[in-house]
Each structure stands twice: as C-alpha cells, then as structure tokens.
Amino acid sequence: MGATRAGRGAGSGVGRRRARSEGDLAAAVAVRPVRRGDLDRIIAIDATVTGLEKRSYWRSIYQRYAATAEAGRQFLVADSGGRVVGFVIGEVRDWEFGSPPCGWVFAINVQPEARLGGVGTRLLDAICAAFRRAGVRKVRTMLSRDNTLILSFFRSQGMMAGPFIPLEMDIDH
Ligand SMILES: CC(C)(COP(=O)(O)OP(=O)(O)OC[C@H]1O[C@@H](n2cnc3c(N)ncnc32)[C@H](O)[C@@H]1OP(=O)(O)O)[C@@H](O)C(=O)NCCC(=O)NCCS
C-alpha cells in the first residue's frame, strides 16, 4: 500500500450489514495517541478478540510504543466520547529483511460492537499519515492465513501481497 489507497471501497463484504449508517461512528470518533489510562480498555478489547487477558504484555507494549516518544513509533486509539473503541500499533523499521525503511502495522483492533462503522479505516488512515510524516511511503503488515476478517479489511484498504514470504521451523531439538 502506498500513499494512495487504490483498493479503498473495493471488495465490500457480501452478506453482512453495517451496524449503523456509513460514516456515523467514524465521524464521531477521534483518533489520538494512547494514554496510560486507556490500558484497561485496550486489554479488554484485546481479550474480547483473543480470549486472553495479557496485562503485563500490554504494559510493556505501552512502555515501548507510547511512553518513549521515539519517532516512528505509533500507538493510537479511537476515542468515541471518552470511550476507547479501537486501537492500532506500528512503527517505522529501517532495513529489516533488506527492505528500505517502511511502516509496519503490528496490531489493529476495533471492539465488536463498534465494527463496520469505518473506525478501522480511520485508525489505519491515521497510522499511515504518521508513517508518511516520518518519511516513509510504504506500509506492511503480517496476518494469520486463516484470519479472513483482517485479510478482508486490509484488502479493502488497498493492501496486497508483498515481495516477502514468512518462513519458520521448530527449534526445540
Ligand atoms: C478488522 C477490523 C479492524 C475492521 O474494523 P472496522 O471498524 O469494522 O472496519 P471498517 O468499518 O473501517 O471496514 C472497512 C472495510 O473492511 C472490510 N471489512 C470490515 N469488516 C468486514 C467483514 N466482517 N467482512 C468483510 N469485510 C469486512 C470491508 O471492505 C469494509 O468496507 P465496507 O464496509 O465499505 O465494505 C475489525 O473487524 C477487528 O478488529 N477485527 C479483529 C482484528 C483482529 O483479529 N486483530 C488481531 C490481529 S492484529
């Protein structure tokens, strides 16, 4: 995905309905940097999606991505009238895997009741804008093959298969 998002609007999901009229929720949401007081909500949203409450993990992510004001690191939340309904995390990485500096999105989550209202799109727009300000023109992410929801979302935003492939092996022998 580059500075323009050619795929926006393409591939609308079939067989599902928007929870409310398009744009209502997204328009009511402010995207802003995370604050320490948001952590309980973030832990709860993540636990809803993953089934695990990872308090120490989220505290360390906060320290790494929010508490230190390092350029290129982003931890943003979608705030709907004082209630956090989603978040996105990422950073600019230089020359990893031999690639010129680019933005990586590590996590994006919208609480189930707030989905299909454009909040995920607002969050991705905001982190892409921050990456552009940091000087990069490319954003990448990684996702689980069987997570068709997140794949549909990223495809709708214009993201496509990139030039890298993930490899892995067991190292317990
Ligand atoms: C993916 C996610 C962030 C999308 O958030 P959202 O606020 O619902 O997204 P938007 O309303 O901005 O949707 C944008 C587009 O994504 C696609 N999309 C979103 N939800 C979809 C669904 N359930 N089915 C098919 N396409 C979908 C659509 O193309 C949609 O545009 P359209 O409604 O105009 O067709 C949200 O569903 C979520 O948090 N899912 C769980 C994420 C997850 O598994 N995270 C762990 C790994 S990081």
For residue 4, what pLDDT is reported?
A: 46
For residue 15, what pLDDT is reported?
A: 35
Average pLDDT (138-146) is 95
Cα 18 to ligand 1 centre (Å): 11
Q: Is residue 62 part of a domain?
A: yes
Pairing of strands 102-110, 139-141: parallel
Q: Is residue 172 part of a domain?
A: no
The whole domain housing 99 covers 24-156
Task: Output the domain CATH number for residue 142.
Answer: 3.40.630.30
Q: Is residue 3 part of a domain?
A: no
For residue 3, what pLDDT is reported?
A: 39
Ligand 1 near 105 CB (within 6 A): no
| Mean confidence (pLDDT) of the chain | 87
Q: Is residue 138 part of a domain?
A: yes
Ligand 1 near 47 CB (within 6 A): no
Report the number of distinct structural domains present in the chain: 1
Q: Is residue 98 part of a domain?
A: yes
| Residue 88 contacts residue 107 (beta carbons within 8 Å) | yes
Prediction pTM value: 0.89
With tokens 């309905």, the residue in question is 17
Q: Is residue 5 part of a domain?
A: no
pLDDT per residue as tens digits for the range 16-69: 445 555 557 888 999 999 999 999 999 999 999 899 999 999 999 999 998 776
Q: Is residue 18 part of a domain?
A: no
